[in-house]
Amino acid sequence: MNKKELRNMKLLEATDELIKLAKEDVPVRDKRYYTEQLIYQRGLYLRAEVENNILKAAFYLAEYLSMDCRKPVYTLYIDKKNDIFKGYDYRTKKWSESMLDKTIFSKWLYQENSYMKEADTALIQKYLESEYDDAFYALYVYQREQRHRRLGMKYEKILTSWDQCMDRLPKIPKDWLRWQKKVGITQNFIFYHYSRRKDQTGYCSWCESEVPISHPHHNAVGHCPKCRHQIQYKALGRAKNIETQKETAYLLQTCGNNVFVLREFQLQMLIVSSSYKKPVYSFFERRRILYDEKLNTKEYYFGRHHWTKESRWIQGKLQVPLYPGYGGYMTYEKYNMGNIYGKSLYGIKNRTFRRTGSTNMQKSKGF
């Protein structure tokens, strides 16, 4: 359906019947508004025809029809097979992709007082396979659904390209899970029973074994004598369930030729006091920043896509509420301090690596 083809089509002129009806459609002056308005009983008249499998719907206004002007003010062309539509505005002499609710006819969309011959209405209903009695509304619904289909196709393309990019990322290192538990999470605890014994021991959450302790105080901070990690003492019986603060950890991996990806994880540990030897972990990968050889970045985040309504990787910057719990304002999420898994850095050229220091990663611990 090209413009030339449409231009060569027969112009749908108003019939004698429409002219006669429009002349009877005498407007009344409405003074309720600041500027006076002419209110027609119907005001809008339509005709429809199918030519070369293309539906033509012509729009006439009573004010022109009553002056014996048979030319439509607007013609909407629909090619159902190729699922496209186009409008032509005879007053501005311009083609239009607008939906009917964005035209001067929008006020008739819900008033249902436009006029069209029953045969023409039936023609539109049949052509569009529509269930709406109001042919004008049926045209609008077709446009709306066509837009929806087009948008769906557009998003499908975009989502596929994102998925292809995400599928190319390297596998997570074998010891990544252990690293998250032992390096990524920096909060550790020693659990102990009250005792007056000299050779008292406590359970270190990092060592995952009993270690010697002396004079522990509930909630006091110290160091594990075995692994030297900073720990907090927790007296069993007094310790409630522990939820560590969400910590950030980064995994840096080479990805293709001299290109790398920085993956951001949020780590958290939950310890139920009754089974303190079996902590529950939550590891959530929420951002991926891809660097190309010129160190341009492409950012992805894991979130709910507004079109598919599913949680997935989305290209763009992660936004979070500015005032959590108060709704409304959103802001770009910053990069938190966090440990970086460095073993896989091997293979990134030094030159590239140093220059990277000027980017976001500088803010992460270890750079």
Binding site for Zn ion (CB under 5 A): 204, 206-207, 224, 226-227
Q: Which has the closest alpha carbon to 247: 219, 223, 230, 269?
A: 269
C-beta closer to Zn ion: residue 85 or 203: 203
SS3 content of the chain, % helix, strand, coil (to 5): 25, 30, 45
Query: Cβ 194 to Zn ion, closest distance in Å?
Result: 20
Q: Do 334 and 317 form a contact (C-beta atoms < 8 A)?
A: no
C-beta closer to Zn ion: residue 44 or 239: 239
Query: Cβ 284 to Zn ion, closest distance in Å?
Result: 26
C-beta closer to Zn ion: residue 141 or 227: 227
Q: How many Cα atoms occupy the beta-carbon half-sphere of 337 within 13 Å?
A: 4
Give CA torsion, residues 214, 217, 220, 223, to 10 deg: 10
Q: For the CA atoms of the chain, what is the radius of gyration?
A: 35
**DSSP symbol at 269:** E
**DSSP symbol at 257:** S
Residue type, 175: D
Strand partners, 270: 243, 280
C-beta closer to Zn ion: residue 161 or 209: 209
C-beta closer to Zn ion: residue 88 or 206: 206
Query: Cβ 224 to Zn ion, closest distance in Å?
Result: 3
**DSSP symbol at 102:** G
C-beta closer to Zn ion: residue 276 or 367: 276
Query: Cβ 271 to Zn ion, closest distance in Å?
Result: 15
Q: Which has the closest alpha carbon to 320: 330, 308, 310, 328?
A: 330
